[in-house]
Chains A and B, each alone.
Chain A
Amino acid sequence: MNIVVFIKQVPDTDDVKWTENNNIDRTNTESILNPADRQALETALNLKQRYGAFVSAVSMGPYKSLEILKEAIALGVDDALLLSDSKFIGSDTCATSKVLAACIKEKFLNTNLILFGQSALDGETAQTGPSTAVRLSFPFINNVCEIKEINENNIIVISENESEKITYKVKLPAVLCINNSVYGYSIPKIEGYIRAHDYNYKIYNISELRLKEEETGVKGSPTYVSKVYKHNEYRNCRFINTDELLNKIKEVY
Chain B
Amino acid sequence: MESDGILIYGELTSEYNVKTVVKQILTKACSLKEKLENCSIKVCLIGNRRHYDELINELGVYGADEVIITNDDRLENYDKNYYPEIFYQIAQKYRPQIILLGSTAQGKEIAAYCASKFNTGLTADCTNLDIAENNRLLSTRPTFGGQLTADILCKTLPQMATVQENIFKDKRIEHNAFARFEWINIDEIERKIEITDIIKKISEKKDITTSDIVISGGLGACKDNGFELINKFAQKINAAVSGSREAFEKGYITKAQQVGQTGKTISPKLYIAVGISGANQHIAGIKNSGKIIAINKDENAPIFKYADYGLKGDLFKILDELIRQYNTEKEEKQ
Contact = CB atoms under 8 A, between A and B. Distances in A.
- Which range contains the number of A residues in contact with the other chain? 35 or more
B149 A166 contact: no
A123 B109 CA distance: 17
A121 B151 CA distance: 18
B147 A127 contact: no
Interface in A124-180: 124-127, 130-131, 134-135, 139, 141-143, 156, 161-171, 174
A228 B153 contact: no
B109 A228 contact: no
B120 A94 contact: yes
Interface in A195-240: 221-231, 233-240
Contact of A242 (B151, B201, B283, B325): B325
Chief secondary structure at chain B's binding surface: mixed
Interface string B273-295: 00000000001000100011110
A250 to B, nearest CB: 9
Given A237-B304, A237-B305, A246 B148 contact: no
Given A242-B325, A253-B212, A142 B109 contact: yes
Given A13-B147, A161-B105, A169 B194 contact: yes
Contacts of A134: 112-113, 116-117
B144 A11 contact: yes
A229 B146 CA distance: 11
Interface residues of B, number: 78
Interface string B101-122: 0000100110111011101111
A92 interface: yes
B300 to A, nearest CB: 12
Contacts of B18: none
A248 B309 CA distance: 10
B144 A24 contact: yes
Contacts of B192: 139, 170-171, 174
Contacts of A131: 112, 115-116
B115 A156 contact: no
B305 A166 contact: no
Interface of B: 80-81, 105, 108-109, 111-113, 115-117, 119-125, 132, 138, 142-156, 192-201, 203, 212-213, 237-238, 254-256, 261, 269-270, 272, 283, 287, 291-294, 304-312, 318, 321-322, 325-326, 329
9 contacts: A93-B121, A135-B116, A142-B109, A163-B203, A165-B199, A171-B192, A222-B155, A222-B156, A237-B307
Given A163-B203, A228-B148, A245-B311, 16 more contacts: A94-B122, A127-B108, A127-B115, A130-B113, A134-B112, A142-B108, A223-B121, A223-B152, A223-B153, A224-B152, A228-B143, A229-B148, A230-B149, A233-B287, A237-B304, A245-B309
